[in-house]
Structure 1
Amino acid sequence: MLVLKDLTVFHGPERVLQSINLTVEAGELVVLLGANGAGKSTLFHTVSGLVKPAEGQLHFNGKSLIGKSPAQVVAGGVVQCAEGRMLFSQMTVQDNLKMGAYSYKRNKKAIATQLDYVYELFPDLVQKRNASAGSLSGGQQQMVAIGRALMSKPKLLLLDEPSLGLAPLIVEQMFSIIKEVNKEGVTVLLAEQNAYAALSISTRGYVLENGRLSVEGTKEDLLENEEIRKAYIGA
């Protein structure tokens, strides 16, 4: 479904990603592990059309994404849920969710159907639908952020650090929902520092270090890799 081949990205004079080769098959849940500053968000921004690569190829379902606007990328089925949630804090939960339906904003029936789906996934949001997004807890805000991305009807969902700043029990709940979304047919590329939680629901994974992919393998391979355990999981 997604193919990155020899992808290199600069931020000004600095090379942020170098010769990235990564694939995601339809139906997979693939984890991209890496510390802060490794280049995970830059990779996602490049796939989303927010950043232009200097070199390499980037294909989704056999078609190049290079040169596509972010709106065209979303319309084609690739949707990013950004790190930090990026909600409109003064708007209600429901209005934030509806922002994700921008590409079909005139189809009220389709919006209502997708809202029902999101509220079924995140029942905690039902009673909060008319509350301002800024008044919610961190976990609830993350639910809104993921729900808004799902409102765009993604074929491929890019999730950037969804567990950041959340309590362990909320992280467990969040990852359970992500796994359910994947089981229902949405392919997921998940960028995370919480390696154990992410790998527990994944198909396989990659490790990004200083802009380069250093390791790839099944979740079992990565969980058993001593260097990865020391760096991301602990003894």
Structure 2
Amino acid sequence: MLNLTNVSVQYGSFTAIRSINFEVNEGEIIVLLGANGAGKSTIFHTISGLVKPSNGEIYFQERDVHRTSPDRIVQLGLVQCAEGRKLFPSMSVYENLKMGAYIHRKMKSEIKQSLEYVYNLFPILKDKRNDPSGSLSGGQQQMLAIGRALMAKPKLMMLDEPSIGLAPLIVERMFEVIEQINNEGTSILLAEQNANAALRIADRGYVLENGSIVMKGTAKELLSNDDIRKAYIGA
């Protein structure tokens, strides 16, 4: 479904990503593990077309997308939910959700269907649909960020650190929702520092250090790896 082959990214003389290779198959949840600065967000921005690779190829559903514009990538069904939520704080919950459906703006019935799906997934967003998004709690803002991404009807959704800054109970609920979204047909690429929670719902994972993939395996293999447990789980 998504394939990265020998992808590198440079900012001037600095190499942020070094010849990485990984894939996401249809229906999978794949997790990218790594500390701050490991390169997770750079990979997401490169896949989204916001950053151009200095080398390598990116294919989504057998289409070459590493030279494709970000808006066209979204139209193909590859959608990013950015780290830090990136909401429009003065706009209402409803308005933020409609912005997520911009590529479908002429399809009113599809937008209505997507809204109903998001409201069923996150009932609190329906209750607060007229409130400014900046007035929401951190957990509610993360729900809105995920809901806005879902409004674009993604085939593959990239979630960048969705648990950051959230209380443990909210984190647990967030991962339950991510698993539900996947079970309902959306493939997931997840960047996370919360390795324990992420690997418990993932199929496979890749470990990033200094812009390179240093380890990969099934979620079970990574959860049972002593080095991973010491570095990311604290066990």
* Aligned equivalents of 2:29, 2:88: Cα separation in 1: 28
1:103 aligns with 2:103: yes
- Deviation at 1:124? 1.4
* Aligned equivalents of 2:156, 2:192: Cα separation in 1: 17
CA deviations 1:113-155 (Å, max 9, x no partner) are: 1000000000111110000000000000000000000000000
- Deviation at 1:225? 0.8
- Deviation at 1:210? 0.4
* Aligned equivalents of 1:127, 1:63: Cα separation in 2: 40
SS class of match (1:126): helix
- Deviation at 1:12? 2.1
1:156 aligns with 2:156: yes
- Deviation at 1:67? 1.2
RMSD: 0.5
SS class of match (1:10): strand
Unaligned regions of 5+ residues in structure 1, if any? none
SS class of match (1:185): coil
The one-letter amino acid of 2:75's match is: A
Q: How many residues align?
A: 235
- Deviation at 1:97? 0.5
Query: For residues 25-64 of structure 1, what are the structure 2 equivalents within 5 Å?
Result: 25-64=25-64
- Deviation at 1:209? 0.6
SS class of match (1:110): helix
* Aligned equivalents of 2:30, 2:124: Cα separation in 1: 27
1:208 aligns with 2:208: yes
* Aligned equivalents of 2:162, 2:11: Cα separation in 1: 24
- Deviation at 1:11? 1.6
Percent of aligned pairs sharing the same letter:
60
Query: For residues 136-151 of structure 1, what are the structure 2 equivalents within 5 Å?
Result: 136-151=136-151
* Aligned equivalents of 2:154, 2:133: Cα separation in 1: 22
The one-letter amino acid of 2:27's match is: G
- Show structure 1 runs of 4+ deviating over 2 A: none
Normalised to the residue count of structure 1, the TM-score between the two structures is: 0.99
Aligned to 2:8: 8
* Aligned equivalents of 1:84, 1:11: Cα separation in 2: 22
Aligned to 2:175: 175
The one-letter amino acid of 2:162's match is: P
- Deviation at 1:108? 1.4
The one-letter amino acid of 2:231's match is: A
- Deviation at 1:106? 1.8
* Aligned equivalents of 1:153, 1:32: Cα separation in 2: 23
Normalised to the residue count of structure 2, the TM-score between the two structures is: 0.99
* Aligned equivalents of 1:84, 1:3: Cα separation in 2: 26
CA deviations 1:53-111 (Å, max 9, x no partner) are: 01111100111101111000000010000000000000000100110100011221111
The one-letter amino acid of 1:137's match is: S
* Aligned equivalents of 1:141, 1:190: Cα separation in 2: 18
* Aligned equivalents of 2:205, 2:67: Cα separation in 1: 27
The one-letter amino acid of 2:228's match is: I
Aligned to 2:116: 116
Aligned to 1:191: 191
